[in-house]
A = this chain, B = another copy of it.
Amino acid sequence: MRPGGRSARVQASVHTAVRELLSEVGRDALTVPLVAQRAGVTPSTIYRRWGDLQELLSDVAVERLRPETEPEDHGDLRTDMTAWAEQFLDEMASSSGRAYIRDALLGDLDGTNAGQCSAYAAEQIDVVLARARDRGEDAPDVETAMDRIVAPVMYRILFRPAGLDAAYARRIVTEFLGATGEDD
């Protein structure tokens, strides 16, 4: 999608309509004609651009999963990574987070949206790791962090949801960075 002009305005108004209607009428009552009416476009505009409701919901979900802020800087890698992992787990495992992950995957026929979700997490971790290197700390690479922190959190949310709490997030970060220090 081009980022400017009419195309961008249509996208913004349709996304807003979906978010509003999701909270007003809920997922099951949502239809393309209802979204079109609220957004002030024709249903065929939506079908042409998004294919169907599930693909539209996937795009909206990815937009909602985009991190709004940079990871916090607490002065050292272990604290930064732990804080990031706790917040990531908290957001993704919440009921709205789970619904967005599910929507993002379901209407994502070519894998673009799932890839975007993964890229968001990788970008955030990259910031944490680059900051650590700038301080002179040893920092693992981002793909290892994806395997050791993001993957188990997302896998457990989708397939094995018991026991997902802040203690779990702290434990996987401690094991990832090596249990050398101030952690319990």
Known contacts A105-B105, A106-B106, A147-B172, A118 near B159 by CB under 8 Å? yes
- Determine if A118 and B154 form an interchain contact, defined as CB atoms under 8 angstroms apart: no
Q: Mark interface residues in A149-176 (1 if CB within 8 Å of B CB, else 0).
A: 0111011101111000000000010000
Q: A159 to B158, alpha carbons, bound, how many Å?
A: 12
Q: Is the interface of A mostly helix, strand, loop or mixed?
A: helix
Best-surrounded residue of A111, A154, A160, A161 (most CB of chain B within 10 A): A160
Do the beta carbons of B146 and A154 come within 8 Å of each other? no
| Contact present for A160 and B146 (CB under 8 Å) | yes
The answer to whether B160 and A156 touch across the interface, beta carbons within 8 angstroms, is no
* Other 11 A-B pairs with CB < 8 A, given A105-B158, A152-B152, A154-B159: A102-B105, A114-B160, A115-B161, A117-B159, A118-B160, A146-B155, A147-B148, A147-B151, A148-B148, A148-B152, A152-B155
- Closest-by-CB residue of B relative to A98 is B111
CB distance from A84 to the nearest CB of B (A): 17
